[in-house]
Amino acid sequence: MIEVQNLTWYYQSNPKRVLDNINLNIKQGESVAILGPTGAGKTTLLYCLCGLIPHNFAGKFEGTVNICGMDPRKANVAEIARRVGYVFEDAESQLVLSTVKENLLFGLENLGLPIEEIERRIQWAIKKFSIEDLLEYDAHLLSGGQKQKVALLSSLVMQPDILLLDEPTSELDPISKTELYKILVELRENKDMTMIIVEQDLEDLPKLVDRVILLYDGKIIYDKPLRAFFEMAEEIEKLGVRPIDSTLIYSNLRNEGFFRKKLSVPLTDDEAVLLLQDLFKGEKT
């Protein structure tokens, strides 16, 4: 689905490489997290994967990117948008029309879908996110969390092959965040959708991703399966990424000698509880 070779990008206004020799392959159906500190190049990489770079930003592009068989430098953004959905960190910039319903309809009508199919997808969005009371609201007057919901739904109703999410939970309350991850997991399981998510709050990532890529100063530092990545909790914290709490607890206890055997790092609260219960039985594991 995605093949990136020797990708390097400079913005015209900045002589420094924002992406530095990126090599990356992502298969259909994979769900991948891209992590890194502020300024690592995460959003810029997403721009390269959806065609915003080089079409919407001036700069120097080196290397190759192949998305669903398309070269973003040659395909137009509308063509890429049929296959690749993007949820921006700034939801406001994604709301191009007045009402919530108009924003949901915009992309679907541009696809030229039958009216019946458009209505089916709109009803799916209403049911999944309980937004029936918001349809006629001015989207620009919604709360930050509501705008984030509408921006996400505007991409989801397009049913893309690849979904790029740039910090999609940044404005969501805990209940809405739980709903979001539930829907993303369901979409991934039922639609075989490929997902790439940039996220700062990592506690819910184990529900969704198989693999984690860590960017630092425009370079890929780590590219590992989920559990193997969080085995390195101390190393990734030094690189500016706050690990999942349970992985830090495990790492600290392991350093204190509480685990004589090599155990799998706990990725969820439930796994951490089971591990601690064994410790409280009276003997080191």
175 and 44 in one domain?
yes
Q: Whole-model pTM?
A: 0.87
Beta bridge partners of 216: 219
77 and 164 in one domain?
yes
23 is a domain residue: yes
207 is a domain residue: yes
> Quick one: pLDDT at residue 119?
92
70 and 167 in one domain?
yes
> Quick one: pLDDT at residue 259?
67
216 and 77 in one domain?
yes
Q: How many domains does the chain have?
A: 3
136 is a domain residue: yes
238 is a domain residue: no
76 and 127 in one domain?
no
Q: Which residues of the chain have pLDDT under 70?
A: 191, 259-263, 281-285
Please give the Cα distance from 41 to 18 (Å, whole number). 6
> Quick one: pLDDT at residue 285?
45
119 and 229 in one domain?
no
137 and 117 in one domain?
yes
Give the range of the structural domain holding residue 17, as residue numbers without chain letter: 1-83+160-233
187 and 137 in one domain?
no
164 and 154 in one domain?
no
Return phi, psi of residue 235, to 5°: -65, -45
119 and 45 in one domain?
no
Alpha helix positions (H), 82-173: 100-110, 115-129, 144-156
260 and 120 in one domain?
no
Q: What is the pLDDT of residues 114-127, one digit of tens each?
A: 999 999 999 988 88
182 is a domain residue: yes
Beta bridge partners of 8: 62
